[in-house]
Copies of this chain bind each other. A is one copy, B any other.
Amino acid sequence: MSMRLHTPADYESLLDKYDTWMFDCDGVLWHGDRLIDGAVEVLSLLRSRQKKVLFVTNNATKSRKSYKGKFDQLGVEAHVDEIYGSAYAAAVYISSVIKLPKDRKVYVIGMKGMEEELRNEGVSFIGGTDPADCTTAPFSLDTFTPDPAVGAVLCGLDTAVTYTKLSKAFQYLTRADPTNPGSPKNLETCAFLATNEDSTYPAGAGLLPGAGAVSAPLRYALGRDPVAIGKPNGQMLDCIKAKVPYDPARTIMIGDRLNTDILFGQNGGLATLLVLTGITTESELTGPAPSPIVPDYVTASIGDLRVVASG
């Protein structure tokens, strides 16, 4: 059973309990290009109380640097090292967890922001925004020479996804050429990674197919799922852990989606606060078929915390 926050004492108690505050952004701090009322004041309040503030987003189309531009544009204080995006976390996962050797490459289904993060982590890649792959011209195996250095396929939201990209990724994930010493020996040697599994994402007036939908053709053709990095999976938190010291018992995750944000917090042993300004509606909590994912706290909007005096 979630605790509903209403009174100033409720919010004051929350501030006492948690030192590190992890925020989802879209649906919590803003909707598209519109700030949630009070979000800026609440973030200032947290900073004035010496809270550590982190922003944890599944958006993989922007690098942290370009995502900071979004904060700047909306007048929200944020620093690049407070921002954790799934493209960044995927790049860190490739360089630090699976430790892809420096002479190997990633085949990318994704956009400029993902390429920036890979480049920043010193990971070589092909595909992505390469015009040769962003084409609707027919793809033929007869004229395709796989790059033997490819050791991973990373798939994120890509609004320029093509059959050529999907076909190349599929070849890398299935080919096996034991006669070529430089090429993967079997399926396992080419890692299948996805920045996140969101089925849709909010885009202005409605929803559009999300990163999970972009990797769905590969899942379907391969009959297996990628390692997904973003919320609700643990890789994103592992990435944060490696960079920022925090005490899970004194950390709270704030989000608008039960199956990504709140589950992410729960998977990481964090407290969770659901806001109702985004995807999740009241009826998913109290309706006839309530979600099995139950946040610790619920409040209508992040702006509600303004009732606490900054100190």
The residues of A with any CB-CB pair to B shorter than 8 Å are: 134-136, 138-142, 158-163, 166-167, 170-171, 174-175, 199-200, 203-210, 212-214, 216-221, 223
Do B163 and A160 touch (CB < 8 A)?
yes
Closest 7 CB pairs of A and B: A216-B216, A216-B220, A213-B217, A136-B160, A209-B221, A213-B221, A159-B163
Contacts A174-B207, A217-B213 given; does A159 touch B142 at CB 8 Å: no
Seed contacts A210-B221, A216-B217; 12 additional CB < 8 Å A-B pairs = A136-B159, A136-B160, A138-B159, A141-B208, A166-B209, A170-B200, A170-B207, A171-B206, A174-B206, A209-B218, A212-B221, A213-B216
Task: State the Cβ distance, A109 to closest chain B Cβ, in Å.
Answer: 11
Interface centre among A134, A136, A166, A199 (most CB of B within 10 A): A136
Q: Copies of this chain, how many? A: 2
Do A136 and B134 touch (CB < 8 A)?
yes
- CA A177 – CA B296 in complex, angstroms? 37
Do B170 and A163 touch (CB < 8 A)?
no
Task: State the Cβ distance, A201 to closest chain B Cβ, in Å.
Answer: 10
Do B199 and A220 touch (CB < 8 A)?
yes
**Which residues in B have their C-beta under 8 angstroms from that of A140?**
203-204
